[in-house]
Amino acid sequence: MNVSKILIGSDHAGLRLKNEIISHLADMDIDVVDVGTYTADSCNYPDYARALCKKIQSGEYGMGILICGTGIGMSMAANKHNGIRAACCSDTYSARMTRMHNNANVLCMGERVVGVGLACDIAEAFLSTEYQGGRHDIRVNMLAEIEAENQ
């Protein structure tokens, strides 16, 4: 694994899966910083996406994982932040490809979509895959240009 520390966050609908992933990654000696939520009380996913993305934007962390019921809301909220390339993945192939080709820095998953074992495999695939760069830089740079146009 090429990552030694990451951020993780969830809303109430992703709390159980988040805690399972934290335990799994800790067993792999990855330092996981949890930005919340910490209870099953109903809450708003954009708050946790914002907390995680702000830490990535600051340069303090390079990657993160966000979990909600489907992963879709978290990915939408995360992608509103400049420099964040969040991908909602439900399989390991997509997790590897979004790192290799899109240089994604936030993985989003849904507790109601993937089971614990698969989610841990998806997280491992995402965190262990390097961005290929090269011809993919053109497209990733185009994403940054679109962000700049819409500030």
Residue 52 one-letter amino acid: L
Specify whether 89 is catalytic: no
By C-alpha distance, which of 55, 63, 71 is closest to 18?
Answer: 71
The CA distance from 131 to 15, in Å, is 29
Please indicate whether residue 81 is annotated as part of the active site.
no
State how far the Cα of 9 lies from the Cα of 89, in Å rounded to an integer: 16
C-beta of residue 105 within 8 angstroms of C-beta of residue 55 = no
Q: Which residue in 68, 88, 89, 120 is the catalytic one?
A: 68
For residue 34, give the nearest of 20, 44, 42 by alpha carbon.
20
Residue type, 101: H
Instruction: Say if residues 89 and 108 touch (Cβ distance below 8 Å).
Output: yes
Catalytic residue set:
68, 101
